[in-house]
Each structure stands twice: as C-alpha cells, then as structure tokens.
Structure 1
C-alpha cells in the first residue's frame, strides 16, 4: 500500500496540474494610469478607475474600452468604483480633495456627491450591500475610521453611526478597494501598526475585532484585502515595499462546520497580494505586484499562475467574467 508521503505528493501534483489550467490573458495595456478600481457588472459590462482622473468602460467583456479623463479631475486618483450597469457608476477619489462622484449616463457627465478639502480625509474603499445601500471607508480621524453611508444609491452620503475605533498608526489600504466588503456584514481589514479584521452587522454597527498574525508594524505591511465564499473568509496582504516577501501573506477564517480548521495556508501565495476575490465553489484568486495566485481548496494550497504585476481582480456580480487590472492601464482576463 502506498505510504502517506507518496499519497500526499500525488494529490499535490494533481492539484498543481488542475490549477495550471488557469491562464491570464492581457486585453489592454499602455495607458498612462494606475488602475486600482474595478467593478465587473456582468459578462459584458465592466468599469475601471485609476490615477490622473481616468475611467474606462467596456461593454464587450473587456475586449474593447472607452477611456476618458474626467474634466476638472485630472489630478484625482480614483481608487475604487462601484458600477450597477453600463450607465450607472460611483467612484471615489483618494487624497485631497476627497471626492465621491456618480454618473447615470455612462460617464458622459459626473456629478459630485461628496467633497472634503480637509487633508485629514483619505478615502480607501467602497462597497454596497445592494444597489441602494453602500459604504465608503476612509483613514482614521480622531481615532475613528471614517465610514460614510448611503441609502439612495450614492446620491447622498452621511457619516455612519458608531464607526469602528482605530488603534494608533492603524489604517486601511487603498490598494484595490477590497479592504472593505459588505453584504449582511461590514468587514474591514487593516494594517500598519496592527493587522485586524473588524466586523459588524450592516444595520447594527456593533463592532467585533480580531488580531491577525499577518506581518505588520510599518506603514507598508498588513492585511490588504478580504473575500468570503464557500466555507472560508480569505485575507491577503504582506509588505508592498518588499513584494517578494512570503511570510504572513494569507490568513483563513473557516466558517462553521468547515472541514479545515487551521488559519494558515499549507502553501501560501508567492509574495505580497493587494486583492483577493471569491470565484466559485472553494476557488479564490489573489493578485498583487508579485504576481497572481489561485486556490481551489478554500485557501489551503495556493499556486502562482502569472508573474505579471496587477493591483486588483474582480469577478462579475452576475456572471463568470474575471478581470484583473494594474499599472500602465494593464487589463487582463482569467480564462479557465
């Protein structure tokens, strides 16, 4: 009877062969913008947002893009975007001034829905529980994370009741718009002085916190992104100043009745990851400047499938299209 090591080696090799079937194909590149905002509506419609006030819209699954530099916002860095159709989208601008803009005509016009010129305001991420109810997360002000809330699809924004308390020198990363996730629960992951996961019911704003054993202690380290699906919550991060560093890059939070109770992957992603996205079943995709990794077992074993640098990866809200985006306007698609 084969010994246990032989069986485990065989299983691992079969998993590697299976994962190798996933490929990433470049669709666009060469634009003078760093893309961090990405919203894939369905298998046809996708939006991207980036530096220098740049927005892109595709209506054919990413093959072709309509680009624009929003007039009057040429210096804005649009770090996140939430789209609902090929006509309607909301964007946030990190840095100062901090803006939230919305379009209802496919980007022909953009209207300011929120504006702060105070340099204390730095917007990191945005997510919606549904088309009307959404949140924007910002860096801490007076020891509280900035948390804005809309209940009318981004038309108006107000400070959320009871935002979470921040520790000294703790912050969220505006790397991919995925340090904040919202469904029935608001989930935030942090870095800097501490790596934590903060959660609250959408309606209750009653926060619970958990320390994460990801590398932290400096402004470039910590948890950058969280995604949930299957039987896992998966958190990725690392050190963007040393993106080849592989310690403490991923962390798992098994759901109730999960068949895997450990929190650290057996084989983790190969280096710093700025974004993780749930794909289907127990499959997650993560990406960063160090390359792109995939797992098909809920995060226990990861395999690097691409060496190129990306900032963000997102799956269609309604469909199977998976797009990645990064610096110099690079856009790619994951093919199974």
Structure 2
C-alpha cells in the first residue's frame, strides 16, 4: 500500500509538472509596447541589459531603453554615401555596425563615450555584408556575399580594433547564384564551439565550422531554391545541435512549403516541418529561451507566428507584417524592429 500511494503521489507530481510546463510554453496573446516611432527601416538590433541598440537605413543608429530612461540616437554620415546598416554586434565595451553594399564600412561605437571609429573598409563592386557576431570580447566575425568564388568572411581577434578578410583558399566555394540574405542579421550563428552560415539563392546550404572558421563542412538543405530570392533567409540554434532555418520564396510570400526545416544533429541533416501550414516567407526566426528548444517565434510577410512543438505546428499571434527581426530578452519578452518602429513584445 505504501508503495502504491507513493506511486500515485509520484505520478501526480509528474503530471503536475507536465501541465505546468505545457502551460508555460503555450503563448496565446502578445502585448505590444512601443519603444520608438521614427522613419527608419531597421533589420539589426542587439540587447544590452536595459538598452536595445539598433541600426538602420540613412545612417541611423542608437539605443532605446526598456525602463523609460533616456534613449540615444545619432546619424552617421560619410561623404555623399547613403549608409544602410543591417548587421550589428557587441562586446562588453563596444557596439559594432556594418553597412551593406559598396563600400563596406564597419564602425565601432564606444558604449561609454559614444565615440565612433571606422575599423574596417572594403571597396568592391560586389561587396555586400549580411551578418555579424562576436564569440567573446576578443573574437568576432562577419559574413557577406562572394566577391570571388567563396563567401566573404572577415574576423577580428583583438576586440574589433582590426579586422582581416579570410582568403578563399581557406573557405568553401560558393556555387553560381549562391549568396546570403541581409534579412535580419541571422545568417551567421555562433553557438559555443560551432559556427553556422546559412546561404540562399540558387543554392541553399548550411556551412558549419568547429574551429572558429579555420575549416568548414557543407550540408545541403531541403528548402526551396534555384531562384535568386529563394532559400534560407534566417536561422537560429538553441544549442550546438538543435537549430532551425527558414525563408522561402521572397517573391511568393504566401508560399508555405519548403520554407522551414529543423536539425537535431548540428546542421548535418535537415527535416522540413509544417509543409503547407503556418507562415510563408519569413525574415527572422528565434528560439524562445528556457524552453528546451521546443518554442519558436518568427516574423515575416504573414505576421508573427509561434510554435511550441519544434515547428510542427504554428499559430499566428500577430498579423503585423512590418517586423523584420526580433531578439528575446527572456522567456516571455522580446524586442522587434522593422519598418518605422521598435517595440517590446510580451508573450502571455
């Protein structure tokens, strides 16, 4: 009898925990709090405690705060160039923003003094940088479309003071029409020992490095590809093994097949999920922190969608089509930006 009662008690505990976890992971609504309303197109943001740093078109950059304390905004100008920033990353003492198109200009912004310095410049009619990440306070990386027959890949080992472009001799070759998309600063993902680059266009693949970019392995994806605006536009990894890639056909935003896939083995193999269901073209996808990789949120041409079963099913939580990228603050709140606004999203 004691064993029987203990078994019942133990089973009730397990059921209670399961119900709690299920409820915790199941969002049904989203509250929107406006942080910034301004004429800006932004695809780049990074969160530093109470501050949300952003960068966008027309040379605009700055930060908004989550608690209502004063924000900061500025405009970078260089000659007659129209600067557009789509990549942003940070160390403990600086924020880095990188332009797309020719010339590529990478700026370092001191968090304390707000002093701005140009730390890398590249002139090439084909140059186009898409994503940037730091592994730690010393090592950072940025990737871009090919100027030769391989992806552009620059790195720093001194905290962003200097950057060097890696030779194509040490990088995998890109196929004709293969490139990256500067959709949401998520083509490059760094997770512990592994680094992932996701490509699209006429070929959509995942490039994986386990030695900080010194060597690479390349894996095909099952996403739609073969045209200039198809393939993987964004990615996220919950850990070194579990990840998601998404995108689709930019010119057919309602097309919701071959546009989202999951890996559980660090990018080696990919399985399509929710074929002909859920969203179509997507610009950003992110795992919800603290959910064991089960919960995912995306923003794109069909609004904001949410899954709590690793992408098998999706539910639209917002119809807004103006969000281009988002990052989570914690397991229930995120910041999103896109066309003319930055907002805090609270999931309930």
TM-score of Structure 1 vs Structure 2, range by shorter chain? 0.7 to 0.9
Gaps of 5+ in 2: 1-21
Cα RMSD between the aligned structures?
Answer: 2.7
Which aligned pairs between 1:1-336 and structure 2 lie closer than 5 A?
19-28=26-35, 30-42=37-49, 44-60=50-66, 65-72=71-78, 75-84=82-91, 88-106=94-112, 108-160=114-166, 162-183=170-191, 184-203=193-212, 205-229=214-238, 232-255=242-265, 263-266=271-274, 268-280=277-289, 281=291, 282-309=294-321, 310-316=323-329, 321-336=333-348
After superposition, the Cα gap between the structure-2 partners of 1:123 and 1:200, relative to the gap in structure 1 and judged at 3 Å, is: same
Return the offset for 1:248. 1.4
Q: Distance in 1 between matches of 2:31 and 2:211?
A: 35
Q: Describe the superposition over 1:18-64 as per-residue Cα deviations: whole angstroms up to 9, x where unpaired.
A: 7442414141454121100011123x121111111111302335786
Unmatched tracts of structure 1, length 5 or more: 1-14
2:135/2:190 contact within 8 Å kept:
yes
- Pick closer, same or farther for the CA change 1:122–1:266 going to 2, 3 Å: closer
How far apart are residue 320 of structure 1 and its match? 6.3
TM-score, scaled to structure 1: 0.85
Distance change (3 Å), C-alpha of 1:266 and 1:62: farther
- Quick one: structure 1 residues 151 and 319, their matched pair in 2 at CA, closer, same or farther if it must change by over 3 Å? farther
Deviation at 1:299, TM superposition (A): 2.0
How many residue pairs get matched? 316
Structure 2 contact 195–212 (Cα < 8 Å) conserved: no
TM-score, L = length of structure 2: 0.82
- SS of the residue 1:108 aligns to: coil
Cα distance in 2 between the residues matched to 1:220 and 1:19:
33
Higher relative contact order (CA 8 A, sep 6+): 1
Structure 2: distance between partners of 1:262 and 1:177:
21
Work out whether residues 46 and 62 of structure 1, in 8 Å CA contact, stay in contact via their aligned partners in 2.
Answer: no
- Structure 1 runs, 4 residues or longer, greater than 6 Å off: 15-18
- Structure 1 distance, partners of 2:99, 2:111, is 20
Q: Distance in 1 between matches of 2:305 and 2:188?
A: 21
- The secondary structure found in structure 1 opposite 2:138 is coil
- Measure the CA separation in 2 of the matches of 1:235 and 1:226: 4
CA drift of 1:210 comes to 1.5
The structure whose Rg is larger is 2
Asked if the contact 1:125–1:178 (Cα under 8 Å) also holds between the matched residues in 2, the reply is yes
